[in-house]
């Protein structure tokens, strides 16, 4: 049976997200797919495209807009007029539009995506792996159970030749992210209520130089409150508890001046490390192997089981 979290639970969080997406690369109005969902201008989206389907009353928040050709992890949150949809699995079929949105489409693969609840259980996303073998305009057709029958929602996705953020197999950028050696006051390194000091000991460059696997999360705990952001830094701390002897764990906050912006967010300065990594949405996690290459990339929130499985794959 469908389990739903009341959508109103998200409203206070969205109201807190006065930051929205302050980058210059916030997505513009999406392409209209005939018969598909309509792009929604949501200033609190954190860079994640949002679509409403008037015919079905469904809303999709797409969590992985930075797509390149090949096989990628995709994620999205799905809502109806009651709240969060949390069926255990859904079927997704890809479409490719070689002649643009007004032309005919070619049906692609059919795959299952799995619902993954956030900690506390009030939110969640669907995740799965899909292959986009050609750059250009694609769409995802999501089949959604509706009582004894089913309906579907279709929304566009743009696929580039190469993603902006590092892809699996790419070398991790050697960024001199700030640590306690640069700023001993943890409150100046993280917007978390109680920053974990273990996550601010090594810079990305330090971890690459050491030649050991590491996990790096780019997130701002106090200001990342849209539907695709979750307690990623807390997950990072849990992984450090379990695997701290075998890997390094690094948190890079989105903002360089956490204490200053608590009184006035208009003063916020995003860290230049985000540009070095090609990051334009509000939460990312990368698992990097001992050779300094990306073993896994997670745009938006990634539950512990996903990140831990990727980490175990790169550990000796």
| CA distances from residue 245 to 53, 213, 284, 306 in whole angstroms, order as listed | 48, 11, 23, 20
Task: Tell me whether residue 58 is in a domain.
Answer: yes
Q: How far apart are CA 128 and CA 302, in angstroms?
A: 11
Residue 283, beta-bridge partner list = 219
Give the count of domains, the chain: 2
Is residue 114 assigned to a domain? yes
Instruction: Evaluate whether residue 174 is within a structural domain.
Output: no
Residue appearing with tokens 């809303």: 59
pLDDT at 291 over 90: yes
Same domain, 192 and 296: yes
Q: Which of 142, 160, 178 is the last residue of a domain?
A: 160
Grade residue 5 by pLDDT with cuts at 50, 70 and 90. Answer: very low
d(C-alpha 233, C-alpha 256), whole Å: 17
CA neighbor of 253 nearest in space, from 227, 216, 278:
216
Residue 165 domain-assigned (yes or no): no
18 and 150 assigned to the same domain: yes
- The verdict on 149 and 107 lying in the same domain is yes
**Is the same domain home to 29 and 152?**
yes
* Single residue among 125, 145, 160 that ends a domain in this structure: 160
Tell me which residue range forms the domain holding 110: 7-160
User: Based on the domain organization, do 149 and 195 belong to the same domain?
Assistant: no
C-alpha pair distances (Å), 137 with each of 31, 141, 161, 168: 9, 13, 11, 22
Q: What is the pLDDT of residue 3?
A: 38
pLDDT-derived band at 148 (thresholds 50, 70, 90) equals low
Domain check: are 218 and 145 in the same one?
Answer: no
Q: How far apart are CA 111 and CA 16, in angstroms?
A: 35
Q: Going by DSSP bridges, is the β-strand pair 50-53/38-40 parallel, antiparallel, or unpaired?
A: antiparallel
pLDDT digits (tens, 9 = 90+) for 114-137: 999 998 777 999 999 999 999 999
Query: Is 136 found in the same domain as 13?
Result: yes
Residue 273 confidence (pLDDT): 97
Positive or negative, the CA dihedral 242, 248, 254, 260 is positive
End-to-end C-alpha distance for the chain, whole angstroms = 42
Q: Are residues 201 and 155 in the same domain?
A: no
Q: Are 142 and 228 members of one domain?
A: no
pLDDT at 24 over 60: no
Average pLDDT, the chain: 89
Check residue 237 and give its pLDDT.
98
Q: What is the pTM of this model?
A: 0.89
| Assigned domain for 104 exists | yes
pLDDT at position 1 is 37
Q: Can you say whether the dihedral through the CA atoms of 125, 28, 13, 219 is positive or negative?
A: positive
Q: Are residues 143 and 66 in the same domain?
A: yes
Q: What is the pLDDT of residues 44-74, one digit of tens each?
A: 777 899 999 999 999 999 999 999 999 999 9
Asked if pLDDT for residue 17 goes beyond 80, the answer is no
What CATH number does residue 270 fall under?
3.40.30.10
Tokens of 112: 């299952």
Q: Are residues 309 and 200 in the same domain?
A: yes
Phi-psi region of 132 (alpha: psi -120 to 50; beta: other; left: phi over 0): beta
**Could you give the percent of the chain with pLDDT greater than 70?**
90
């Amino acid at each position: 049976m469908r389990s739903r979290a009341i959508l109103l639970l998200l409203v206070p969080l969205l109201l807190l997200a006065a930051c929205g997406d302050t980058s210059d690369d916030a997505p513009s109005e999406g392409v209209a797919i005939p018969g598909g969902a309509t792009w929604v201008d949501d200033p609190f989206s954190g860079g994640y495209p949002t679509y409403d389907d008037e015919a079905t009353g469904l809303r999709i928040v797409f969590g992985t807009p930075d797509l390149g050709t090949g096989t990628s992890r995709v994620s999205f949150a799905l809502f109806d007029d009651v709240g969060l949809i949390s069926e255990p699995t859904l079927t997704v079929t890809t479409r490719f539009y070689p002649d643009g949105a007004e032309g005919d489409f070619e049906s692609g693969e059919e795959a299952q995506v799995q619902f993954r609840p956030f900690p506390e259980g009030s939110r969640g996303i669907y995740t799965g792996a899909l292959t986009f073998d050609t750059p250009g305009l694609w769409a995802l057709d999501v089949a959604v159970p509706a009582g004894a029958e089913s309906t579907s929602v279709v929304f566009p996705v743009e696929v580039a030749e190469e993603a902006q953020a590092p892809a699996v197999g790419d070398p991790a950028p050697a960024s001199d992210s700030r640590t306690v050696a640069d700023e001993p006051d943890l409150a100046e390194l993280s917007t978390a209520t109680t920053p974990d000091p273990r996550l601010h000991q090594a810079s990305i460059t330090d971890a690459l130089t050491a030649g050991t696997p590491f996990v790096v999360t780019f997130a701002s705990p106090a200001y990342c409150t849209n539907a695709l952001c979750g307690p990623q830094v807390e997950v990072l701390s849990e992984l450090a508890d379990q695997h701290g002897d075998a890997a390094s764990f690094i948190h890079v906050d989105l903002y360089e001046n956490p204490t200053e912006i608590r009184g006035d967010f208009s003063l916020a300065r995003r860290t230049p490390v985000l540009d070095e990594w090609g990051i334009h949405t509000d939460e990312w996690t990368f698992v990097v192997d001992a050779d300094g290459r990306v073993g896994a990339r997670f745009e938006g929130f990634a539950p512990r089981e996903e990140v831990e499985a990727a980490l175990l794959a790169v550990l000796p």
